Amino acid sequence: MRSYTLIAPAKINLYLEIIGDRSDGYHELVMILQSIDLADEIHLQAGSIDAIRLRCNYPELPTDRGNLAYRAAELMTVKFPVAYAKYGGVDINIQKRIPIAAGLAGGSANAAAVLVGIDLLWNLGLTLTELEQLGSLLGSDIPFCVGGGTAIATGRGEQLSPLNALDNIYIVLGKYRSLEVSTAWAYKTYRQQFGETYLRDTESLAARAAAVHSGSMVKAIVNRDPKEIAEKLHNDLERVVLPEYPQVLQLRETFAAAGVLGTMMSGSGPTVFGICESQQQAEQVKTRVRETIPDKDLELFVTQTITHGVQLTVNR
C-alpha cells in the first residue's frame, strides 16, 4: 500500500497584535509567524477500508473528530468524494514531539501534514494556495503550517504574506507539561479588559495591518539580525496571561535572567521562548533555566528557525 511520512514543524509568534473585532466573532490580528525545527512526524497510508483511522503516541490526545488531523482527513473526503471513492480511506499515525496545548500550533501542523499527505495519496495535484484555503476552513494557524517559513498573518491569522525566511536562529523553548492556557479564554479576557482600544472602522484596521509590513520587526527580519528581532518581540496576550499564570511569568523572567537576547510567550501560551546568539548559548541558557527551575514538569527544548512548513520525508 502507498504511504507517506511527513514532518510537521511547530511555529512561534515573533509578533502578535490584536487590533479589533471581526463580525465572525474572531479577533482582527496582525502576527508574524515563524517555523521552528521542533516537529511531529505524520505517517499516512492508504487504508484497507473506507474509513479514517488515527493513532497517536500521546494517549491523552483524541483519535476521532476531537483531533484536528482527523478533521483534516474528513474534510478531504467531503471535498474530493470521487478520489475518496477511488482510493479509499486513510490510516494516520502521529508521532508527537511538539508539546500539546502549548501555543506552538502542534495540532494545526498535524492537520496541515494530513492535507498535504492526502493530496499526495490521492494524486490530487493541489497547489500550495489550494491547500492553504482548505486549511483555513479548519483553523487559523493551519494555512501557515502548510508552507511555513516566515510570514505576516492578518485577518484571523489565515491571510498570509511571506517574508524572507529566517533560518539558523537558535531558540530555547520552555513549557510546563501539565499547564494549559485556553486560547478562547485568553482572547475573551483580552476583549473584556482592552476592548476599548480596538480599532472600529475598516480603513483603520487595514491601515494598521499595512503598517506592520513596513514596521521595525519586518526590517529586523529582512536584516536577519537576531538582536534586533529580539528587541522587537511583541505579544498582546501577555497582558492577560502573565498576571493570571505566575508560572509563565516566572519562566519568562528566568529566561531573561539566563542571558537570552529576548524572550516572550508564544501565542496564547503557556510556552515561553528565548532567542539566542548561537547553539552554544542556547544550550547554556537551557542549563541555567533548568538549574533555576528544577521542576520535572518543565520541558525545555533547544531548536532553531527554519524556512519551511510541512515536508515529505519518505514515500513508496
Residue 9, annotated as binding a ligand: no
At 39, which helix (H) or strand (E)?
strand 27-46
Which amino acid, 27?
H
Cα separation, 80 vs 86, in Å, equals 10
End-to-end CA distance of the chain: 8
Residue 99, annotated as binding a ligand: yes
Residue 117, annotated as binding a ligand: no
Residue 128, annotated as binding a ligand: no
Closest CA to 12 of 170, 208, 159: 170
Residue 73, annotated as binding a ligand: no
At 217, which helix (H) or strand (E)?
helix 216-222
Residue 100, annotated as binding a ligand: yes
Torsion of CA 277, 15, 132, 302, to 10 degrees: 30
Long-range contacts (CB closer than 8 Å, 24 or more residues apart) made by 241-248: 241/181, 241/186, 241/265, 241/268, 241/269, 241/270, 244/189, 245/179, 245/181, 245/269, 245/270, 247/176, 247/179, 248/179, 248/181, 248/272
Residue 274, annotated as binding a ligand: no
Inter-residue contact 91 to 45 (CB < 8 Å): yes
Cα separation, 226 vs 169, in Å, equals 7
Which amino acid, 235?
N
Residue 104, annotated as binding a ligand: yes
Residue 107, annotated as binding a ligand: yes
Task: Tell me how far the alpha carbon of residue 180 is from its chain's centroid.
Answer: 15
Inter-residue contact 40 to 157 (CB < 8 Å): no
* Residue in the structure block whose three cell numbers are 493551519: 142
Cα separation, 17 vs 31, in Å, equals 6
Q: What residues are annotated to the active site? A: 11, 141
Residues contributing to the annotated binding site for ATP: 99-109
Residues contributing to the annotated binding site: 99-109
